[in-house]
């Protein structure tokens, strides 16, 4: 089955919305909200995140730089398969290194990869801290924690930047839907070649 046939069948083009940012920036919240909005509109979408991949496919990985890179590599490969199937794959990963995100983009294909920087200042992320990870990192219980004792390399040219310290979830989802619509992913138009 070709990509054009899948697009006609599903009424959409497969792609990957890659949400990247610090822990606590709002990636998972936005991924779930975007998925809900797309499904409510009759679209085929699915969230891939650390929770659903690290409990299965990536259960053998820790959080060293090399293991983080492998986590992102595997996530990129799975997301590429979802996009090939015609789904809108929404990923929610810190994915702190530009090179790892570039590898995911290469696996998916540039034309179908929408890198979205979920941007919130470190102090906002620490205040939110839904899993108490920053507190534990500051106490020395977690080594190599992104933003505290390990680096985060923000995207240089994201398709979209969402400042979640200023924008609420509904506005962010509206902007994400606009990005998808503007890119032609919510139509059955034949996809461009990568």
pLDDT tens over the chain, length 194 residues: 888 888 888 889 999 999 999 999 999 999 999 999 999 999 999 999 877 766 666 666 667 778 788 888 888 999 999 999 999 999 999 999 999 999 999 999 999 999 999 999 999 999 998 788 888 888 888 888 888 888 899 999 999 999 999 999 999 999 999 999 999 999 876 545 55
Look up the domain containing 97 and give its range.
Answer: 3-182
Q: Report if residue 126 sits inside a domain.
A: yes
Of the candidates 38, 2, 16, 21, the one whose C-alpha atom is nearest the C-alpha of residue 121 is 21
Q: Report if residue 187 sits inside a domain.
A: no
Active-site annotation holder among 28, 64, 95, 149: 95
Q: What is the CATH number of the domain that holds 70?
A: 3.40.50.300
pLDDT at residue 191, rounded to an integer: 47
| Number of domains observed in the structure of the chain | 1
Q: Report if residue 64 sits inside a domain.
A: yes
Q: Report if residue 141 sits inside a domain.
A: yes
Tell me, yes or no, if 95 is annotated catalytic: yes
pLDDT at residue 62, rounded to an integer: 67
Q: Report if residue 170 sits inside a domain.
A: yes
Q: Report if residue 102 sits inside a domain.
A: yes
Q: Report if residue 193 sits inside a domain.
A: no
Q: Report if residue 75 sits inside a domain.
A: yes
């Amino acid at each position: 089955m070709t990509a054009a046939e899948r697009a006609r069948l599903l009424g959409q083009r497969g792609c990957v919305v890659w949400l990247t940012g610090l822990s606590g920036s709002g990636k998972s919240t936005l991924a779930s909200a975007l998925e809900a909005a797309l499904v409510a509109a009759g679209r085929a979408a699915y969230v891939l995140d650390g929770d659903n991949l690290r409990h299965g496919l990536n259960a053998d990985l820790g959080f060293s730089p090399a293991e983080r890179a492998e986590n992102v590599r595997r996530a990129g490969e799975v997301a590429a398969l979802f996009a090939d199937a015609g789904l809108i794959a929404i990923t929610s990963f810190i994915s702190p290194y530009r090179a790892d995100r570039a590898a995911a983009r290469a696996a998916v294909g540039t034309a179908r990869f929408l890198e979205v920087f979920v941007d919130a200042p470190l102090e906002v992320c620490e205040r939110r801290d839904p899993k108490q990870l920053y507190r534990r990192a500051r106490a020395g219980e977690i080594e190599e924690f992104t933003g505290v004792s390990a680096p985060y390399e923000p995207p240089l040219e994201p398709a979209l930047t969402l400042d979640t310290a200023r924008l609420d979830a509904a506005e962010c989802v509206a902007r994400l839907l606009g990005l998808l619509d503007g890119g032609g992913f919510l139509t059955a138009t034949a996809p461009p070649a990568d």
